[in-house]
Structures are given as C-alpha cells and as structure tokens.
Structure 1
Amino acid sequence: MDAFNFPSSTASDIAHFIQLYSSSTILSILLSAIVLITVLSLHRTQNHYSLKLPPGNLGFPLIGETRQFLKALRSDTTQQFFDERVKKFGAVFKTNITGHPTVVLWGPAGNRLILSNEGKLVQNSWPESFMRLLGKESIGSKSGEEHRNIRSALVRFLGPQALQRYMPQMDLEIQRHINEKWLGETQVKMVPLVRELVFAIGTALFFGLREEKVRRQIYHLFETVVLGAMSVPLDLPGTRYRRACEARAEIDEILYSLIEKRRAKLSSEMASSDDDLLTTLLTFRDERGNPFTEEEILDNFNGMLHASYESTVSTLTLFFKALSSNPECYEKVVQEQMGILSNKKDGEEIGWKDIKEMKYTWQAIQESMRMVPPGFGGFRKAITDIHYEGYIIPKGWKLLWTSYSTNLKEEYFSEPEKFMPSRFDNEGRNVAPYTFLPFAAGLRTCPGWEFSKTEILLFTHHFVKTFSRYTAIDPNEKVSADPFPPLPRNGFPVKLFPRS
C-alpha cells in the first residue's frame, strides 16, 4: 500500500496543538517535560552510536522538520526539500518529519534496501492516530503471517482473474457517471467528479452497495474520516479528529448491517464467495481454517477504501492535466481508443482483451505518475540496527524511501522534465529497477494496483468515446498536496467538447 501512504502528521499536529493551547500552564509544563525526555533520549542515542549516525538535522525535538516538509508538499517544492538536504549531507541523511528520527535513503539502492527487506530489517510504520481511523486490523498494520493472509484474500478479489469477472460492473458505473454528470455540461471541475466516481466504484464492487441514499451517507462520513486523518489527533469534542472517529463508528454500523445481510444470503446460497470483496472476506479461510474476525473485515474495508480512493483520484486527474498540456500525446491516446472502438460491433462492450491493447494509454499514465508521483514514498521502522554506506541506522528509527530520489533525475530518465510516454514502451523493461515505484515494491506492493489501472483505462476510453476534446480553463494551474495526495489546487476545471 506504499503508493497510497499518508505522510505522518504527528509532529505537525503537536506544533498546531502548541499554537492552539499555548496559554495553558499545565500544557506548557507537560510539553517541556516531553521535550526534555526527547533531548535526553537523542543524547543517549548519539553517545551510543558516536559518529556512525548519518549526517543531517533533526530539528527541534518532536517537531523536527515537519513544518518545512508539509510546506514543501503544499507549495509543490518537495523535490527541492530533498535536493537541498542531499546536496548538503549526501545520499544518506537524517531528519525528523514523522515525530521520530528518520533516515532518508536516496536513490535506487536505498529504495531496494527498504522495500526488499520487509520483516528482515524493517517493518511498515504508520502513525497510531491514523491507524485508529484506518483500522488497527487492516493490512497496513500487519506483518508476517497475518499480512500474508490478508494480502492473499485481497489479491483473490483484486487480481487479474477476478478483475475480468467484474470489469463489466466497473464499466457500467463509469458509463452511467459520465452520462449523468459530464455529458451535457460545457464546463466541469474534474477533481470533485472523479472523487465521486471512484468512491461509487469502490462501494459498488467492494460491498455491492448501489442504493444512492446510503452511498451518499457513507461518502460524507468517509470524507469526514479523511479530513480527520490529516488533522491534529486530539480526541476532544468539536475537533476534526473526534468527528472522524465518530464518522468511522457510523460507517462501521452501516457495514455491520451489510455484513449480517450478506451472511444470511451466503447461508441460504443466495450469494457466492466471489460476488464482491465483502463475500471474499467473509468466506476466506487461512491455512488453519480460521476466518477473519468482524473487526478485521471492517478495518480492511476501510483500508481498501482509503487505498483506492485518494491516489486513484490524483493519478486520473493529473493524467488528464498532463495530456491537456501535451496535445500530440492526447491525440495518440485518442487514436488508440478510437481504434479499439472501431473493432466493436454495435452494442458490444469493452473487454479484458481491449484493456491489454491500451498500451500507449498506459504508458502515458505511467509517465504522468513519474512526473507527479501520487505518493512521495513510504516510511518503515528499523527492527534491528542497520549498517548502510558506513553508517548505523539505530533500531526503532524510521526510514524513508521516496520517489523524488529517482523520478526527475537525469541519471535515470533522460530529459526528465519532458512528458515522454515512449520511455515506458516495451512493457517498461527499459526502466531500471527501483527507479519508478508508483505502487511500491516487494511484499508491500499495492495489492490494488491492477484494479486502479483498469479503472483509469476504462474511464479514459469512455471519456474519449464521449468527448472529441477538452481544454483546461487554467493551463498553468498549480499542483499541491495538502498534505496528500497531489491535486490541482482549483479542482482542474475543463471545457468539454462532445462528439457529434
């Protein structure tokens, strides 16, 4: 799930907390004590490892450089944030952007070490406040056998074989959405419409929900959870975090009801084990024959909604933004899609074989993800002392791999600032290992990447089929992450030109 990782906001939250409540004497004393403990802890670590720690700047205790990092995300200067530190300290440096000492490993070698040593040197690491909303029993918090079991169940539903079976449902959702929300409009904002579509597909295919009233109810609750996950984690009345926790509880109540109804259908043989993600999780058994608990089912539902939502919205929107600035590439996409359409009989729907023929379109999507990564990377925690490039990364410290160490670097991609989908031809075999990682790699490769790919390709096909062209209202609209994922700041308004 690395491609969909949310940056930890722990330290930033503390900074906001200080601003909001600095008048409280009790809080000041408490924070002073925390700072003192942190300083002493870091001092002991420094003494223990002497000069073998990587160079860098941990910043102010707890807060570290989180403010600077979040500012870089919001101002689209994340590349500059990392480049400045690499130039000053080298390809291995320490910082603090998670509320903990964090070592950034720069380049393919660092990516390889972090992503190929899950369970050996590192383990996945999420902020506790976020995991409370995402789900402590979800795949993002599990390791070892538990992680393998959940991944096995998810891949059973999200893998290519299952996709071929329910792709027609996804296709119908996209056609309905375009016909109802886009067709007939001269101008739309892509971001909110794409958000609505991606969520509708998730609820329909994950747990068979098509009732518009209930779907909208869950959508508004889910948006509240997303906002709370990126807020100050204060579980106090009136805070975003408290509202998010309450919204998550309401979502669970709705899903509990759906689970009971689905269990009844399964027992009466009115539903099968491969109807949707819900029945997949309900009928899954591990090697010992054990089923998932209700908490595991609920948490993994929420985890999959989060994982499939924001990053897919970002990728699809930024793909169309990139094409609007590169009309010759858009024309090639149009030619490919219309070529597929020309081979169809009247009323014949698009199939799995057609998806495989969208080679140039997929290359263009990959190139847009290279130029603006849907996620900046991922955090891990060292589960043992790690020796790397002459330094020691202490057990318990965080590690960060990042797309910004390779995606826009001349040594890995020629003319990196130029939009060139052709660099991903030949099935991407020309791209060096661990230089392009939109879905991470290793044991934590995103289990839903084929699902997301199919969703974006299908939308592109029906968009091209419906509209002859489109133009961006503001071709220079800035992109920023606030704090996740990167999106056009004004929602990417476009003018539509329907086909005759």
Structure 2
Amino acid sequence: MDFYYQLFLYLSIFYISLYLLFLVFRKKSSSPNLPPGKKGWPIIGESLDFVGAAKSGCPEKFINDRTAKYSPEVFRTSLLGEDMAVFCGASGNKFLFSGQDKYITTWWPSSMKKLLLLEFLKPEALQHYIPIMDSMTREHLESDWSPYKEVKVFPLTKNYTFALACRLFMNIKDPQVVSKFADPFARIAPGFTSVPINISGTPFSKAVEGGKVIRQELLNIIRQRTKEISEGKDAKLRDLLSRLLTEADDDGSVYYEMDVSNKIFGLLIASYDTTGTSITVIVNYLASLPHIYEKAYKEQMEIAKSKAAGELLNWDDIRKMKYSWNVTCESMRLTPPAQGAFREAITDFTFAGYTIPKGWKTFWTVYTTHKNPKYFPDPEKFDPSRFEGNGLTPFTYVPFGGGPRMCPGKEYARLEILIFIHNLVTKFKLEKVIPDEKIIYNPSPVPANGLLIRLRPLN
C-alpha cells in the first residue's frame, strides 16, 4: 500500500511539475519582445540613479550609459514606480510626437501636473502684454540689480518671472501677496522627479503640502474675483483669470473653480521654475562669452536707439531680436530647462522591433539629440549660428517638445526672455565672479552658487 501511495505521490509531483513548466514556457513564448534594460530596485526602480545623475551635474549620464549598454533607440527602465520605455534620438522623438492619441497620450507622475495653457498664450494674444513685460523688467533691474555691484542671478530671476506671471495672469501687484505664493512654490520643484512616497519630510511630501497651500490661496482669489465679476467690478482687469471665469468653453459651459485653479497653477509652475531657469542659463553664457554678449548688445542697442525716451518695446521690436533668440536657442540646447517629458501607451505598439505594452509609460529626452555630433557638429561649442535659416534636422532640437503637445508656453517664454535680454545688455556689462561655477539639476539646471555676477553699469 505504501509503495502505491508513494508511486502515486511521485507521479503527481512529476505531472504537476511538467504542467507548471509548460505554463512558464508558454508564458515566455507568448510574452512580448520588450526593450532591453532592467527595472532596478522594487518600487523605486532606477529613480535614484536618474535623480543622482542630474544632481551630480551630468543628467545625460543616466541616458548615455543605458543607450551604450542596451540600445541607441529605446531601452527599458523603471522610474517613479512605473515601467518605462525611454525613446532616444530623432526617430524616437518623431515617433512619440507624431503618435499622440494614436499610440500614446500625455501622462505625468503623481508628483507633477502639466496643464494646457489656453488661447491666452498665443502670440497674437501676448503682443498686448509686451509693454507690461518691458515695464516690469525695467523696474526689476532698477530695484534689484542697479543698487549692487554683484548679484545672484538665479534667485532674482525666479522672483522676477514669478512676479510677472502673477501680474499678467491674476493682476496681483502686491509684493507681499506674490511672496505668499512663491514660498510654497519653492517646495514643489524638488518633488517633481522624486519617488512618490508621501512620508513626512520627503521631497514628495513637502511638494504635496506646498501644492495644498497654493491651491487654497488660488481658490480664495478665484472666489473673490468671481464676486467682483458678478458685481461688475472687474471691467479693467481682463487678465487670464477673468477670461477663464467668464469665457465659455466649446460646450458653452463656464469653467468650474477647480478647473481654473488647475490652469493657473500650471502656468505659475512653469513661470517659477523653467522660465526663470532659462533666463539664468542665458545670463551665464552672456557673462562667460564676451563675443556673444557684444553681438547681442549691438543688436539690442540698435533697437534701443530707435525708441523715443521712455518708449516701451512693441511687437516689431521683438521681431528684430533674431540674434538674441539664436543665443537663447543655443543656451537651451546646451543647458535645457527640462530633461524631457512623459507619455503613456494607450495600446500595444512596436518601435525599433520592440513591443511597448499598453499602460507602460514612455519618456523622451533632450540628451540623445542636443549634444549628438550627428545633428550638432562640435556639440559642446556655443554657436548661435546653428539656428540661422532652417538647417536643423527635424526632431533634434526639442527643448519645448514637439507635435500636438509641444509646450504651449513657448511664445510666452520667448517674449519674456527677449525682453529681459534687451534690458539687461543695454544696462550692464556682465562678469562671472566664479568662472567655473558648477551646474546642478534639481530637476532644472541651477548654478551651485546662484550664478554670482559682477555688474558694470553702461550709463
């Protein structure tokens, strides 16, 4: 009896083992051909390597190491708790930018919110705000730069770009109110690319708390403005906030308070972080490269001499700033304000022979094209002439993304940057106090010491 029992037991184990092996091999044989790479640690994946490379001042290292090891077209990783396919090169950019709503859709980690910026940010709408931008830039340089021989550019430009956004979007002029908004915003940026673990003291937790404070303040302002609109007291405001609260959408319904709050919130994030960072990077190059500064100065002085005393800039003046815009583009090629952007696969699809499963997240990055000698010869050289004419290979210069989801704030940033350059170079000569100051990424590029600049007034 014992013999038959043992035989039955052994045969049962044998057949069960065969069945399990069959299931395993069937699963393997039917599994998709995923991109090469590794997921890293449980939950956090390779997020620490990704953030660590950025904070070390070499954010492209994370990408370059993996493209060299796995594939120059697409590789697999895990970031922010998500399976991620990182697309590389111009072909990867083109595929993602042109595949919007066909293969992929916009996706942001729980630590980030990206929102559409509406018609307010189209060039024709922004032209009316050029004099306000010019006036506020003059006031900023006069009050926060002129009294000093040396200034830290990064904190000053962040304060300036944020104050300008508050003025244009919500008609907030009181510096104390602006500061009330800016303080919690300082907690948000470090949480953008942090691991989304909401434990007290973590960057993500601080970002969440900062977001709550800002949203409550925005709701208070929105409710007050709604009251003013109902009482007919906002006739002279007509800023973005009033337009959002009064203009109907395609369905004929008025935006709800939270929708308005989300849109203003997205604009303020962009103004506080990326635009201020971009201006800082440009000032860094202008101060480091005298021959670049001199050409920008010559262009801007021709515009300044054409203006009457006290006359503010207009749209025609902006259109003449071609060299200054080339300088801006080259600055953002070498030191882009953002590393890339996320998408989500809405269906299984194939790229470069690999399958990206539905639900996976994708990431396109500036670092596989911006410094690639195939697209930009002598890539480490600062050369604004690269942007003359239409000589760039498509999908290689992507600081604003591309396709239907290209950053809608591009034109707003362009105006703000060019107006700042005009006022800066016609007022000061610039000299870096720390010539080899390191750039760190958190997640945007930040000078380690705030970019200390020595000012030499021109008049």
TM-score with structure 1 setting the length? 0.82
- Please say if 1:481 is aligned against 2:441: yes
AA partner of residue 475 (structure 1):
P
More helix by share: 1
Evaluate the alpha carbon distance shift between residue 496 and residue 225 of structure 1 in structure 2; reply closer, same or farther with a 3 A threshold: same
Evaluate the alpha carbon distance shift between residue 252 and residue 95 of structure 1 in structure 2; reply closer, same or farther with a 3 A threshold: closer
- Please say if 1:95 is aligned against 2:56: no
Does the Cα contact within 8 Å between 2:37 and 2:75 map onto a contact in 1? Answer: yes
- Please say if 1:342 is aligned against 2:308: no
- Give 1:486 deviation, angstroms: 1.0
Question: Number of aligned pairs?
Answer: 435
1:47-196 to structure 2, matched below 5 A, reads 47=28, 50=31, 52-90=33-71, 91-128=73-110, 130-131=111-112, 134=113, 139=115, 151=116, 154-196=117-159
AA partner of residue 81 (structure 2):
G
State which of 433, 454, 457 in structure 2 corresponds to 1:495. Answer: 454
Aligned Cα RMSD in Å? 2.2
- Please say if 1:208 is aligned against 2:171: yes
1:333 is matched with 296
Does the Cα contact within 8 Å between 1:273 and 1:280 map onto a contact in 2? Answer: no
Evaluate the alpha carbon distance shift between residue 384 and residue 230 of structure 1 in structure 2; reply closer, same or farther with a 3 A threshold: closer
Q: Which runs of 5+ in 1 are unaligned?
A: 1-42, 140-150
For 1:472-500, what per-residue CA distance to the aligned partner results, in whole angstroms no more than 9, with x for missing partners? Answer: 01111111102x10111110001000112
Does the Cα contact within 8 Å between 2:344 and 2:360 map onto a contact in 1? Answer: yes
In 2, distance between residues paired with 1:333 and 1:261?
44
1:365-404 to structure 2, matched below 5 A, reads 365-404=328-367
Evaluate the alpha carbon distance shift between residue 466 and residue 354 of structure 1 in structure 2; reply closer, same or farther with a 3 A threshold: same
- More displaced 10-residue stretch of structure 1: 300-309 or 429-438: 300-309
2:10 is matched with none
- Please say if 1:447 is aligned against 2:428: no
In 1, distance between residues paired with 2:283 and 2:79?
31
1:286-325 to structure 2, matched below 5 A, reads 286-325=249-288
In 1, distance between residues paired with 2:450 and 2:229?
42
Q: Which runs of 5+ in 2 are unaligned?
A: 1-23
Evaluate the alpha carbon distance shift between residue 225 and residue 101 of structure 1 in structure 2; reply closer, same or farther with a 3 A threshold: closer
In 2, distance between residues paired with 1:301 and 1:45?
51
- Give 1:274 deviation, angstroms: 7.6
Does the Cα contact within 8 Å between 1:205 and 1:277 map onto a contact in 2? Answer: yes
Does the Cα contact within 8 Å between 1:189 and 1:491 map onto a contact in 2? Answer: yes
- Give 1:323 deviation, angstroms: 2.1
In 2, distance between residues paired with 1:77 and 1:64?
20
- Give 1:125 deviation, angstroms: 1.6
- More displaced 10-residue stretch of structure 1: 359-368 or 171-180: 171-180
AA partner of residue 98 (structure 1):
L
In 2, distance between residues paired with 1:182 and 1:411?
41
State which of 324, 327, 331 in structure 2 corresponds to 1:364. Answer: 327
Does the Cα contact within 8 Å between 1:378 and 1:402 map onto a contact in 2? Answer: yes
Does the Cα contact within 8 Å between 1:387 and 1:393 map onto a contact in 2? Answer: yes
Does the Cα contact within 8 Å between 1:46 and 1:53 map onto a contact in 2? Answer: no
- More displaced 10-residue stretch of structure 1: 243-252 or 73-82: 243-252
- More displaced 10-residue stretch of structure 1: 307-316 or 257-266: 257-266
- Give 1:49 deviation, angstroms: 5.0
TM-score with structure 2 setting the length? 0.89
In 2, distance between residues paired with 1:244 and 1:44?
45
For 1:407-429, what per-residue CA distance to the aligned partner results, in whole angstroms no more than 9, with x for missing partners? Answer: 00111111111100011012xx1
Does the Cα contact within 8 Å between 1:74 and 1:480 map onto a contact in 2? Answer: yes
- Give 1:70 deviation, angstroms: 1.2
Does the Cα contact within 8 Å between 2:434 and 2:452 map onto a contact in 1? Answer: yes
1:24 is matched with none
SS at match of 1:52: coil
SS at match of 1:96: strand
Does the Cα contact within 8 Å between 1:374 and 1:438 map onto a contact in 2? Answer: yes
In 1, distance between residues paired with 2:240 and 2:26?
46
Evaluate the alpha carbon distance shift between residue 269 and residue 45 of structure 1 in structure 2; reply closer, same or farther with a 3 A threshold: farther
Does the Cα contact within 8 Å between 1:198 and 1:309 map onto a contact in 2? Answer: yes
In 1, distance between residues paired with 2:26 and 2:88?
23
Does the Cα contact within 8 Å between 1:104 and 1:399 map onto a contact in 2? Answer: yes
- Give 1:253 deviation, angstroms: 3.3
State which of 152, 167, 185 in structure 2 corresponds to 1:222. Answer: 185
For 1:454-485, what per-residue CA distance to the aligned partner results, in whole angstroms no more than 9, with x for missing partners? Answer: 11111111111221x11001111111102x10
AA partner of residue 472 (structure 1):
K
- Give 1:227 deviation, angstroms: 4.4
SS at match of 1:101: strand
1:256 is matched with 219
